[in-house]
């Protein structure tokens, strides 16, 4: 499990919820969580903001 998925689960959020809050597609989130793609810094900012955490928490 990668950090995005880990934080998302700790926050009790579904991938679909995170997608709606962040503006990042569900498919892209799935690819990030599975290590198929790496998100840009701008996308990491959106994801972190939607999760209510600092970027570092979804990267390290």
Question: The whole model's pTM is what?
Answer: 0.93
Predicted pLDDT at 33:
95
Q: Is 36 helix (H, G, I), strand (E, B) or coil?
A: coil
Residue 10: CATH number of its domain: 1.10.260.40
Residue identified by tokens 């972190």 is: 48
Predicted pLDDT at 60:
83
Determine contact, residues 15/26, Cβ cutoff 8 Å.
yes
Structural domain count, the chain:
1
Residue identified by tokens 């959020």 is: 13
Name the residue range of residue 16's domain: 3-59
Residue 6 tokens read as 């880990």
Residue 14 tokens read as 């579904």
Q: What is the pLDDT along the chain (60 residues), one digit of tens a residue?
A: 699 999 999 999 999 999 999 999 999 999 999 999 999 999 999 999 999 999 999 988
């Amino acid at each position: 499990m990668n950090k995005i998925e880990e934080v998302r689960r700790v926050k009790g959020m579904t991938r679909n919820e995170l997608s709606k809050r962040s503006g990042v597609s569900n498919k892209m989130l799935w690819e990030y969580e599975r290590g198929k793609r790496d998100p840009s810094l701008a996308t990491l900012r959106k994801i972190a903001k939607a999760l209510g955490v600092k970027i570092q928490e979804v990267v390290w």
